């Protein structure tokens, strides 16, 4: 089954390029492209995407507000943000709004397609440079040491940190010397203990609570 992708980006050339790239992939279909999020709920309702590829900076209604609107009615759609280096503050806002992943616009076409697949599979793709900026910003905003007892094991804490650092499940498995299936099991336990339902929510909580 094809992955259905909706694109929100204010640059017409980039919208056309993304549509061409997505449609050229045998396992994906671009179901629509739009320049801003004024009618985002109508567009999402009509096209029923699995993934929304969302620009942060757009006129009228930007990507962060778009994420909030989507999350108000659609909890399961994956949202992958596209950003530039200067957007570190807005990236942090996007995390809190409920975005599932964050890639630079300079990301190669192959990495972008891999990111779409990863986010559909429950991952939280994040360009390492973006992850570092988000972590620095979280520290600057006063991310605190949690007083809550989430009872994470040492391995679960390690994997949560790797998620925050932008590692894919595959890279986590390689880094920890465990199988992909074992990573999935640990992540499921992390979700249960943190009472969240996605990697992005786990990352957001980890940053807010200073867990890593």
Q: How far is CA 202 from the centre of its chain?
A: 11
Residue length of the chain: 212
78 within 8 A of 44, measured Cβ to Cβ: no
Rounded distance between C-alpha atoms, residue 20 and residue 141, angstroms: 39
For the chain, 212 residues long, give each residue's pLDDT as a single digit of tens.
699 999 999 999 999 999 999 999 989 999 999 999 999 999 999 999 999 999 998 989 999 999 999 999 998 899 999 887 666 677 777 877 888 888 888 888 998 998 899 888 877 777 766 666 665 665 555 544 455 668 899 999 999 888 877 787 888 999 999 998 899 899 889 988 888 777 767 777 787 777 76
Total-model pTM? 0.70
CATH class of 143-209: mainly alpha
Q: Are strands 3-8 and 51-55 parallel, antiparallel or unpaired?
A: parallel
Q: How many Cβ atoms from other residues are within 10 Å of residue 106's Cβ?
A: 11
Where in the chain are the domains? 3-138, 143-209
Architecture of the domain delimited by 3-138: 3-Layer(aba) Sandwich (3.40)
């Amino acid at each position: 089954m094809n992955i259905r992708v909706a694109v929100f980006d204010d640059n017409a050339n980039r919208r056309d390029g993304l549509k061409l790239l997505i449609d050229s992939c045998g396992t994906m279909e671009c179901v629509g492209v739009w320049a801003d999020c004024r009618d985002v709920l109508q567009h999402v309702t009509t096209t029923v995407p699995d993934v929304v590829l969302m620009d942060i900076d757009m006129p009228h209604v930007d990507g962060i507000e778009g994420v909030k609107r989507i999350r108000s009615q659609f909890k399961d759609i994956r949202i992958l943000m596209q950003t530039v280096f200067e957007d570190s503050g807005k990236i942090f806002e996007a995390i809190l709004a409920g975005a599932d992943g964050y890639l630079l616009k300079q990301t190669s076409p192959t990495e972008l397609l891999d990111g779409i697949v990863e986010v559909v599979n429950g991952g939280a793709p994040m360009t390492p440079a973006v992850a570092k900026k988000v972590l620095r910003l979280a520290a600057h905003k006063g991310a605190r040491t949690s007083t809550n007892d989430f009872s994470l094991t040492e391995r679960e804490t390690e994997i949560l940190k790797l998620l925050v650092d932008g590692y894919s499940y595959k890279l986590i498995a390689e880094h920890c010397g465990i199988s992909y299936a074992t990573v999935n099991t640990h992540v499921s336990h992390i979700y249960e203990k943190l009472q969240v339902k996605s990697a992005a929510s786990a990352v957001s909580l980890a940053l807010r609570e200073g867990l890593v």
